[in-house]
Structure 1
């Protein structure tokens, strides 16, 4: 009897305080509802900072023509927000694209699972025809990154024309995207020339299977050919070694190397007999202990009733004493709340005065640097900061007038802030921050172009503001040149801070913006302005985001 193997792995979002136990319970509960397969809990283990559990599933076609054995290993590491999984399956027949995928049979995709490349494992074809430009651009960007990722272990079929025979996905190994021509062109702009989607269909094989991509340009697209390509991919996966992160797991390696359809030989178990004798002796001893405990419980119940009467009397006395104290405490609480509100208003006024003094200090420093324009600078210092009715107009003005900045920020997050009561103050502070970045970029670029060492005062934006250089209009206390290690090392949080840049800065067209300026330090929505200093290479400071505080490990 031949054993035809296959594997795939990925991630599942966590739920609750014990996500591993919750996933195991949901898989076992689903089996009780469907009853067309069996599930065996092989137990769990702890390994340092991680917990692991293994489940085994078995099913057939009901007529004895074939049977399937499935091994599912789940691993959760403390502090992470997802559970990693590996599904290994063996069948007594060769896998074909028309067969039910094991991940679908046991309901793994119902848990919101995705592949190792974070593409959801779903059976239906994702239709992407008639989507808006913003939706197309966003998904094309994400899909383009996944298609060229060397760690992708699932295949992606992109259909630009409908095939002669409907083609569906194979959860865990093949995802199908049905796109229109506009999305196809948008996706191709995010892919290298050799990876472009033709006006037909393309099956992107996983790099680990070492298969060439299947390209179909005939019109109409041959559905039979696509089904054959998917079947070839499934057969190749049976020859692909397990991923390195799972190959070292003893339970996974042992199951994948053995023949799961061979029943193990079982003989008399002397050790089990000995354990049974010990269990009987322990049961007799436990019964004696229970008798003693029942007697003690009766005595404790009587003592508890006596204490309950005493507590009831004490509670009555406490209520009489606290009736007057509560009124006094409430009056004190109201007075303290008024003092807190007064302190908050005084703090906001002090911050506003500090920002204005910082702005005037920057203008006066500019006057000293440009003494021949003293009259114009004094007049400018006497004028209040420019007012903008909305963040959109502020961004437009900055784009037009601040030549050393490249503003690639999406205006939508900033527009949400316009409805906040403190929006006017945030716009003034954002305008001063943008002008400070522009002044820093101009001063540093001029020094580099002249072949001079910029010196410590121009080493970065923080040093520029801290030393009070000409054009510095904001406090150094609101500037941070990097995020915390928690954010920097978390891929999901890092991606939230990755924004567009010019190819000359990063050929990928995107880069990580860790540096930021706080327009409001503590109170939600705590707006932030994220920037990227590229003055050493292009003489430009990028502004990639202006809006509410981006997610952190505490807010999500």
Structure 2
């Protein structure tokens, strides 16, 4: 028995605090009101900063002449305003345009779903005759952009004359627009010459299906020819590979590659057993490496303390010789200063090695977590540290890629640091600090969204770094969760640490940022990164300031 497949994908607007659960509940509740199909919840999973769930539908065609199996996979990424969906369907006979579209049968268009081109998937024909010029210009601009978009995965049928037989859409794969001649001219101004709409009808085929557009310029338009063109498009989708962003999802890939009407095999997967064995061996090796690195980190810490003690001894010797002869003192001072500089450089190198070991420990912890759950990926953490020519570009890259952070920091204080000789080192440490905050926020919000207790390891950023959680790239010694009482109780100093936040966090639009990370501990300008942890409410960590040390009671 042949299995004929189709797929289409797009977006659904979110609603409520847990949009994925809300969409799943609405689809399951709808089935209780319609007994012409069945639905099974295949469960959900977490993947880093995203959640995914799968629903399986089944129904029979007219007079039970064929059967249909449908897999609907939903994915929600934290911080986005829409849920992405992919509908994969299999039929025991070749698809035709007269068949009931799976998206319509399960009620997907009732959720306000749209295709990948953001055109809503709707069954009725959208009549656009007699619209105002402003309405025509606006919609022609949007439609013209969608028609030439390379990522468009649904077809668009535009009619300028009524066909001999009424033609309806196929939700998810074909949208139908009935337009007048004025809109046709308006739309053609937004299209290249090869895509212009003639007087009659044109079926704009998605680029992924690699079919020519169907053009009918005869009058009246043949409805039968249009139906045949839509049928050819639907059947061509059976040979079109899954979109890249869905092709690597295990549940979708496995369902689409197998016969959903066949009974499941009960024998164990030898390949999976082999992979699990290799994963266990790699896990044991990773644990051994972590043990060695911890010993090295302890040795480096002891060496750092020894260097610090020697520096203190040299400073005491410098004070002891202050009463000696001036000429002799100057000579000794020069020698001692040279030794102090050597030890200071050694101290800085030790700190740099300690930070690198901390970063390697975080990467290995991420690799360890990946082997515990084959679906977890820590590719982002395994990339080498990025180099940024300026703090402005660093902040821009962080705003674009670190989705759990809200960076409200003004760029001017950070830009001043670019002229310092140690700016490159500070930028590397700031990048690791921002990635650590993003990893902490992602791990904590993922557990909170799942209704689980984050536990003591994720109680705050300091505990996250101190326990070496996956994604922790900085030392816990440079993290402070609060300022001193002197700063906190002084209104002037407190206002200097008050920065912008979302009204959901504080209706006043501003809040106090006492927590900070030291990019340089002692030497001026001793740059600091101030942050506010709001993962319990909005799932966000704010970064309100990046620049030189803010004023204290010891500064003017």
Give TM-score scaled by structure 2 length: 0.50
Structure 1 residues 122 and 280, CA gap change in structure 2 (3 angstroms): same
Q: CA RMSD in A?
A: 26.8
Instruction: Tell me how far 1:264 sits from its aligned partner.
Output: 1.9
1:25 deviates by 0.1
The question of 1:9 aligning with 2:28 is answered no
Does the 8 Å contact 1:367/1:374 carry over to 2? no
The Cα shift of 1:48 comes to 0.4
Alpha-carbon contact 2:314-2:336 (below 8 Å) kept: no
**Are 1:297 and 2:297 an aligned pair?**
yes
Task: Encode CA deviations 1:429-448: one digit per residue, 9 max, x unaligned.
Answer: 99999999999999999999
User: 1:131/1:414 Cα in 2 relative to 1: closer, same or farther (>3 Å)?
Assistant: farther
Post-superposition Cα deviations, 1:83-108, rounded to whole Å, max 9, x if no partner, equal 00000000001101111100000000
Is the CA contact 2:280–2:371 (under 8 Å) kept in the aligned structure 1? no
Higher alpha-carbon deviation: 279-288 or 91-100: 279-288
What is residue 435 of structure 2 aligned with on the other side?
435
2:177 is paired with a residue of what secondary structure?
Answer: strand
Name the stretch that deviates more: 34-43 or 383-392: 383-392
**1:129–1:297 CA distance, 2 compared to 1 (3 A):** same
Deviations along 1:291-335, one digit per CA (max 9) or x if unpaired, are: 999999999999999999999999999999999999999999999
Is the contact made by 1:52 and 1:75 (CA closer than 8 Å) also made in structure 2? yes
How far 1:61 moved relative to its partner?
A: 2.6
Provide, for residues 452-484 of structure 1, a one-character-per-residue CA deviation record: whole Å limited to 9, x for no partner: 999999999999999999999999999999999
- 2: distance between equivalents of 1:300 and 1:355? 11
Between Structure 1 and Structure 2, how many residues are aligned?
Answer: 556
| Higher mean C-alpha displacement, 104-113 vs 344-353 | 344-353
Rounded Cα–Cα distance in structure 1 between residues aligned with 2:399 and 2:39: 61
Which one has more relative contact order, counting CA pairs under 8 Å at least 6 apart? 2
Q: In the alignment, is the contact (CA less than 8 A) between 1:503 and 1:509 conserved in 2?
A: yes
**Residue 66 of structure 1: how far off its partner (Å):** 0.5
Please, which runs of 5 or more residues in structure 2 have no aligned partner? none
Q: d(CA) in 1 for partners of 2:386 and 2:282?
A: 84
Is residue 49–residue 442 contact of structure 2 (8 Å, CA) maintained in 1?
A: no
Rate the CA distance shift 1:406–1:314 in 2: closer, same or farther, 3 A: closer
How much does 1:79 deviate?
0.1
Alignment partners' CA distance in 1, 2:360 and 2:282: 84
Deviation at 1:63, TM superposition (A): 3.5
Q: Provide the C-alpha distance between the structure 1 equivalents of 2:425 and 2:377, rounded to a whole number of angstroms.
A: 24
Determine if contact 2:466/2:475 at 8 Å carries over to the other structure: yes
Question: More displaced, 207-216 or 312-321?
Answer: 312-321
User: d(CA) in 1 for partners of 2:427 and 2:318?
Assistant: 55
Task: Find the aligned partners of 1:522 and 1:343 in 2 and give their Cα distance.
Answer: 15
Query: Post-superposition, which runs of at least 4 consecutive aligned residues in structure 1 deviate over 6 A?
Result: 267-556
Call closer, same or farther: CA 1:44–1:419 in 2, change over 3 Å.
same
Partner of 1:460: 460
| SS of residue in 1 equivalent to 2:80 | coil
CA 1:30/1:432 → structure 2, altered by over 3 Å: closer, same or farther? closer
Contact 2:513–2:544 (8 Å) recurs in 1: yes
Instruction: Work out whether residues 519 and 527 of structure 2, in 8 Å CA contact, stay in contact via their aligned partners in 1.
Output: yes
Q: Specify whether residues 343 and 239 from structure 1 end up closer, same or farther in structure 2 by C-alpha distance, changes over 3 A only.
A: same
Aligned pair in 2 of structure 1 residues 535, 137: CA closer, same or farther (>3 Å)?
farther
- Change in Cα spacing, 1:264 to 1:387, as seen in structure 2 (3 Å) is closer
The DSSP-based 3-state class of the residue aligned with 2:241 is coil
Instruction: Give the drift of 1:12.
Output: 0.1
Q: Secondary structure at the match of 2:53?
A: strand
Matches of 1:495 and 1:154, distance apart in 2 = 54
CA deviations 1:13-47 (Å, max 9, x no partner) are 00000000000000000000011100000000000
Which piece of structure 1 moves more, 254-263 or 357-366?
357-366
Change (3 A) 1:487 1:205: farther
Does the aligned pair in 1 maintain the 2:300–2:350 contact within 8 Å? Answer: no
1:404 touches 1:540 (CA, 8 Å); kept in 2?
yes
Report the Cα offset of residue 64 of structure 1: 3.1
SS in 2 for 1:381: helix
- Matches of 2:78 and 2:117 in 1, distance apart? 21
Find the aligned partners of 2:373 and 2:268 in 1 and give their Cα distance. 102
User: Could you tell me how far apart the structure 2 residues matched to 1:375 and 1:109 are?
Assistant: 30
Q: 1:376 and 1:510, CA in 2 relative to 1: closer, same or farther beyond 3 A?
A: closer
State how 1:14-163 maps to structure 2 within 5 Å. Answer: 14-61=14-61, 63-163=63-163
**How far apart, CA to CA, are the structure 2 residues paired with 1:284 and 1:347?**
34
Note closer, same or farther for the CA distance 1:81–1:237 as it changes in structure 2 (3 Å cut).
same
Shift of the alpha carbon at 1:120? Answer: 0.2
- Is 2:375 the partner of 1:344? no
Q: Provide closer, same or farther for how the CA distance between residues 215 and 473 of structure 1 changes in structure 2, counting only shifts above 3 A.
A: same
Separation in structure 2 between the aligned mates of residue 126 and residue 331 of structure 1, nearest angstrom: 91
Which is further off, 127-136 or 463-472?
A: 463-472
Distance 1:213 1:294, change over 3 A: closer
Answer with 138-147 or 365-374: which moved more.
365-374
Shift of 1:65: 1.3
> Is the Cα–Cα contact under 8 Å of residues 360 and 381 in structure 1 kept in the other structure?
no
1:367–1:373 contact (8 Å) kept in structure 2: no
Q: Secondary structure at the match of 1:197?
A: coil
Give 1 or 2 for the bigger CA radius of gyration: 1
